[in-house]
Amino acid sequence: MDFSIAVHGGAGIILRSDLSKEQELLYRTGLKDALEAGYAILEKGGSALDAAEAAMCTIENEPVFNAGRGSVFTHEGRHEMDACIMDGYTMLAGAVTCVSNVRNPVKLARSIMENSEHVFLSGKGAEEFAHKMNLEFAPDEYFHTEYRLKQLAAIRDSNRTILDHMKVTDGDKKFGTGGAVCKDIHGNIAAATSTGGMTNKRYNRIGDTPIIGAGTYANNNTCAVSCTGHGEYFIRAVVAYDVSCLMEYKGLSLEEAARIVVNDKLVRMSGEGGLVAVDRFGNITMPFNSDGMYRGYMKSDGSSYIGIFKDELL
């Protein structure tokens, strides 16, 4: 059977004028590395779940993306990371929020799914569980990047948050989340998502990423979805699950269901962002209503694509 993988690395106001050639290359290379990590597993007959986790770990390990090592700083100068993973075959899921020093939060999310009776753990308790599972931790310095420190310094004394990369301006809106969706040769699908949240966030704010049905969802009968955007809107719209519901209950195609949710429903709510999704046949869609989204896919038929800007049409 055919297999496929799609990934994203965030969405928002992403313009050519904002990225140097060097920065653009870093993003494209990061997306390519994540795709290849997952594809290598799928090509050998591995599971969609393993491929999604591998792709997500690659993104978490790449400092240019706001997940894992590249996570933004909170107001207190710390990192609070969220992640989620879901298996479309078993409908099992694991999620984690507000954790620090866990090298790969998506691995913790999967461990919660497979080694506990729970779905969602947070903060110190989640970190305690990670230690129990012998997951790898890293010191604060591993997650500290000069670029993220400059972002925090620019707005720390204000009441503002910014939603990710590049320029720190009043119009800066970039939603930094990494995600992957996969379909394997066995016909199973899976989704994984990870984020560092918002620069200068307070009060242990949680977005859509770790919430099943909002930022992440997978069901073998319909699709696997990983979202990136202004999390509050994605939570209210239950975006990932809504795509699945439109397919299951109205019989819509993956592309049409995702289009309605991202370009109609979210737009009416003033919600900005996008998603990557794959259905049980391996079809992929990557809609977004923002100026850009770091995105790409690879399929077993040899086709592939990597894009950043809005005018890079498939």
| pLDDT at residue 165, as a whole number | 41
| pLDDT at residue 246, as a whole number | 98
| pLDDT at residue 68, as a whole number | 93
| pLDDT at residue 168, as a whole number | 42
| pLDDT at residue 201, as a whole number | 75
| pLDDT at residue 174, as a whole number | 57
Positive or negative, the CA dihedral 264, 282, 11, 197 is: positive
Specify whether 145 is catalytic: no
Residue 180, SS3 per DSSP: strand
List residues bridging with 97 in a β-sheet: 122
Cα-based distances in Å from 271 to 216, 267, 268, 290: 17, 6, 7, 9
| pLDDT at residue 161, as a whole number | 52
Which residues 6+ apart lie within 8 Å of 257 measured at CB? 223, 242, 243, 244, 246, 247, 250
Active-site residue identified among 97, 177, 199, 216: 177
Strands (DSSP E) found in the chain:
4-12, 81-87, 93-99, 120-122, 174-175, 177-183, 189-195, 216-218, 223-229, 273-279, 284-285, 292-299, 304-309
> Which residue ranges of the chain lie beneath pLDDT 50?
164-172
Which of 309, 266, 123, 137 minimizes the C-alpha distance to 204?
123
| pLDDT at residue 159, as a whole number | 56
Structure tokens belonging to residue 97: 């929020």
Q: How far does CA 87 lie from the centroid of its chain?
A: 15
pTM of the model: 0.92
